[in-house]
Amino acid sequence: MLATLLLAAVASGAQPYRLLGSAAPDFTLKATSGTNLRLAEYRGQVVMLAFWGSNCGQCGDQLEAVSRLVDTYGSAGLTALAVNVDDNVAAAARFAAAHPVGYPMLLDPQKQVARAYRVDNLPMLLLVDRSGTIRWAARDYKRDSDVGYQEQVRVLLDE
């Protein structure tokens, strides 16, 4: 099944990277709402990790696309966490306020989580399966990516 997802990731424009098939590094980050959230709390759900920055032109569009997927598939076990990698927490908070979504917006100003996940481009989207394994990655966003995201989410939710 992992080989099928890797081939699908390449076919959909996603660029596989070294952490595919590995356990997702656990982390705890503060949300823009002020609460601390830990990735491990979402074990048993399919998690979309959306890495973004306030100066990223495509990030707002990707966050909206992820929000639509969570709205559609949340009851089936899909959740999302948006991880901001800005040095400037105030800029991140302004961007988050201007792009409201129905899932937590987390702050990683020291980029510890971004380094653990080897984030090398923004926006970057990862899918983590119910057991906590990174199964899919996309290092950019184009409007036509939404269909690819949806296909990958469905595969993981059906497992």
Q: What is the pLDDT of residues 91-111, one digit of tens each?
A: 999 999 999 999 999 999 999
Tens-place pLDDT, residues 128-156: 999 999 999 888 766 655 667 788 999 99
- CATH, domain 2-158, list 3.30.465.10, 3.80.10.10, 3.40.30.10, 3.30.420.40: 3.40.30.10
pLDDT of residue 4: 43
Q: Are 118 and 17 in contact (CB under 8 A)?
A: yes
Q: Indicate the pTM of the whole model.
A: 0.86
- For the chain, give every domain's residue range: 2-158
CA distance 152 to 159: 11
The DSSP annotation for 70-108 comes to HHHHGGGTEEEEEEE--S-HHHHHHHHHHS--SS-EEE-
Q: Are 139 and 124 in contact (CB under 8 A)?
A: yes
